[in-house]
Structure 1
């Protein structure tokens, strides 16, 4: 049973990292799920209250970092709230419509379309906003990846 438990925990962590580049997968939920699986298969007693407090703070940080990185990328390149929303919608729809390529093209095209249709920006400005959304997405992936590595490192340190 120990092998099954560790296998499920590791699979959960791997899915969490896949969720970094495939945003439809809620990566942080899978990371936390791995911790919960450990408690179910082994013991919650080995995971003290401060472990859970730190992990919850990291979860809040991950959600905040995701939103802020996207908004920062779009805003830094002159985009509007419409560009942020378009980028977010593109980020969710892109990977479904175009697996793999949609991960980058979705937010890029979503920001461009929103800027052109809603704010009536010039094509040059819309493309600039699209690049900003991609930079924001990549920044978010790197930031979240580092935080998730720290979360898992703390978990293994505690166990």
Structure 2
């Protein structure tokens, strides 16, 4: 759970999925009664938010006036940023990708390209914030359940 909370704002670590695995492991113990509804709903939310992590930066690019080149640049930059062994690649990749994409689209309008790249960065920050909020919610559920079953767990 702690790795998940840190992973929600540190791109190197898996965030929300780690928190969900923490919940799953808690509910798989013999001491805690299984709650398939809770696990199912939180899994569905985890999947949706994970997909949104890849969509939100592209939407931020589009919202700030980026073209389809900027959106594609954001997505390609995100993939390269994930795979590249550079610090903060997940942050830098979409920004640079959107900037390069917009410069390919219109190399004379640097201000528009920078604005679209900024939208990509803001989209990434928004998705990180959403991840953090849901990690804290999952952590709260974990703490509550652990406290509720403390006599059987410890």
| C-alpha separation in 2, matches of 1:98 and 1:45 | 41
Does the CA contact (< 8 Å) of 1:84 and 1:111 recur in 2? Answer: yes
TM-score (norm 1): 0.73
Question: What is the CA distance between 1:31 and its match in structure 2?
Answer: 1.7
Question: What is the CA distance between 1:45 and its match in structure 2?
Answer: 4.9
| C-alpha separation in 2, matches of 1:59 and 1:44 | 25
For 1:88-140, what per-residue CA distance to the aligned partner results, in whole angstroms no more than 9, with x for missing partners? Answer: 3323433634313x3432221111112222x3352221111110000101111
Match of 2:98 among 101, 104, 111: 111
| C-alpha separation in 2, matches of 1:143 and 1:90 | 21
- The residue that corresponds to 1:47 in the other structure is 34
TM-score (norm 2): 0.75
Q: Does 1:27 find its partner at 2:15?
A: yes
Q: Which runs of 5+ in 2 are unaligned?
A: 147-154
What secondary structure sits across from 1:46 in the alignment?
Answer: coil
Q: Which runs of 5+ in 1 are unaligned?
A: 1-12
| C-alpha separation in 1, matches of 2:68 and 2:134 | 27
Mapping of residues 123-142 of structure 1, within 5 Å:
123-142=110-129
**Bigger Cα displacement from structure 2, 51-60 vs 21-30:** 21-30
Aligned length: 144
The structure in which a higher percent of residues are helix is 1
Distance verdict in 2 for CA 1:71–1:28, change over 3 Å: same
- The residue that corresponds to 1:3 in the other structure is none
Question: What is the CA distance between 1:39 and its match in structure 2?
Answer: 4.1
Q: CA RMSD in A?
A: 2.6
What secondary structure sits across from 1:86 in the alignment?
Answer: helix
